[in-house]
Amino acid sequence: MDIITLLLAVALVVVGAVAVVALNRGGRMRRDGESLSTEVVRMAENVAAGQSDLAGRLTQITEASVAGQAALTKSVNERLDAVSKRLGENMDKSTATTTKTMTDLRERLARIDVAQKNIAELSGQVVSLQEVLSNKQARGAFGEIQLNDLVTNILPPSAYQFQATLGNGTRCDCLLTLPNPPGAIAIDAKFPLESYHALRNAADDNAKTLAERAFRQAMVKHIDDISKKYIIPGETAESALMFLPSEAVYAELHASFGDVVEKSYRARVWIVSPTTLMATLNTVRAVLKDARMREQAGVIQIELLTLLKDVERLDDRVEKLQRHFEQATEDVRQIRISTDKVTSRAERIEDIQLEDATPAEDLDGPRLVDTDVGD
């Protein structure tokens, strides 16, 4: 709109300049002659008409420009409203998405914090376990505690004894008190951790060979000690158990040291891990249950024999009571016979008393004779 107004102003200036030029020329022509006055008047009228027409067109252009500007303003406002609405909706969605994302992020961070705490606690426990396993005495106590937990969780208290002293003066970690056969079975916990770690951490073949030799010697020594100390003829069973508190050590032993396992078989020392010891203890519990059932079966048999004697005695007494009842029935029958005779005799006497007087000659007739025989 500003450009159109500027163009109209320039046009008016040009028209004015043309009119001034025409007037100047008209003045010169007046000096030349009065014949030009008519032409000048006509030119002035044309200029005035042009100005009027130009003013009308300028008004139309201005009105059209105002209407176009109003329509443009309305369209721009509508588009701005639509853009603002879309922008608001997008902002709301973005805010909701951002809020949800932040909430999920906070929850995940909370879980990560909990996991970090658990990892820290687990790390502390692992460090504590390493400290325990690095000390031989503590490591032995660890194996004994694990053995204690397994035995107490499976067997009844009457079936075992910890730190039991045997007849030769030795003390085993646990003694299973089983009936003969097989008899009491000793369990000793061993944990050859140094030689096992040396074997696992061997850097070359030479170090591995030395570690295998050390591990084999440690296991053979444990087997010989258990065989000599905890297998006592007449007091314990013909075999004993060596408890390895590590499944890894047990697996390595059976995977790579078959000769050591065969030696333990010959020495009647059965090597067990936590898993295999659990299965062995369950078998022991079944044996104890079977032995207890056999004992209870003997008690039940004795009680049944006693009950049979009581039944025989009861039968004798019932028979005696039956004889008493039969004798009483016979006595009642005899009494009834006597009462019948008494009643019959009384009726006869009554009949005699109620009869009319008989002739004198009948007085010497036959008398009443009792023909009944019996009590």
Residue-by-residue pLDDT tens, the chain, 375 positions: 555 555 555 565 555 555 555 555 555 544 444 455 676 667 767 767 776 777 777 777 777 777 877 888 888 888 888 888 888 888 888 888 888 888 888 888 888 888 877 887 776 555 454 544 455 554 556 677 888 888 888 888 888 888 888 888 888 888 988 887 778 889 888 877 677 777 777 778 888 888 888 888 888 988 998 888 888 888 888 889 998 888 888 888 888 888 888 999 999 999 898 889 888 888 888 888 877 777 777 777 788 888 888 888 888 888 888 888 888 888 888 888 888 888 888 888 877 765 554 554 444 444 444 444 444
pTM value is: 0.45
pLDDT of residue 339: 87
Domain count along the chain = 1
Residue 250 within any structural domain of the chain: yes
Distance, CA of 226 to CA of 242 (rounded, Å): 7
Q: Other C-beta atoms within 10 Å of 141: how many?
A: 13
pLDDT of residue 132: 46
Residue 157 within any structural domain of the chain: yes
Find tokens 């104890």 and name the residue. 288
Is residue 272 within 8 A of residue 251, CB to CB? The reply is no
Residue 7 within any structural domain of the chain: no
Q: What are phi and psi of 169, to 5 degrees?
A: 90, -5
Which residues are CB-neighbours of 138 under 8 A, at least 6 positions away? Answer: 131, 132
Residue 26 within any structural domain of the chain: no
Question: What H or E segment, with its residue span, contains residue 178?
Answer: none
Nearest to 166 by CA among 147, 184, 146: 184
Q: Other C-beta atoms within 10 Å of 250: how many?
A: 19
Domain containing residue 133 = 128-294
CA atoms 195, 198, 202, 203: torsion sign: negative
Residue 150 within any structural domain of the chain: yes
Which residues are CB-neighbours of 198 under 8 A, at least 6 positions away? Answer: 207, 210, 211, 214, 215
Residue 66 within any structural domain of the chain: no
Q: Which residues pair with 258 in a beta bridge?
A: none
pLDDT of residue 368: 45
Q: 3-state class of 267 per DSSP? A: coil
Amino acid at 130: Q
Residue 178 within any structural domain of the chain: yes
Q: Is 241 left (phi over 0), alpha (psi -120 to 50) or beta?
A: beta
Q: Please write down the long-range contacts of 87-96, taking CB distance under 8 Å and 24 or more positions apart.
A: none
pLDDT of residue 129: 47
Q: Other C-beta atoms within 10 Å of 103: how many?
A: 10
Q: What is the CA radius of gyration of the chain?
A: 67
Residue 53 within any structural domain of the chain: no
Give the CATH number of the domain where residue 132 resides.
3.40.1350
Distance, CA of 147 to CA of 251 (rounded, Å): 18
Q: 3-state class of 160 per DSSP? A: strand
DSSP for residue 357: P
Tell me how far apart the 2 most distant CA atoms of the chain are, in Å: 234
Q: Which residues pair with 176 in a beta bridge?
A: 160, 185
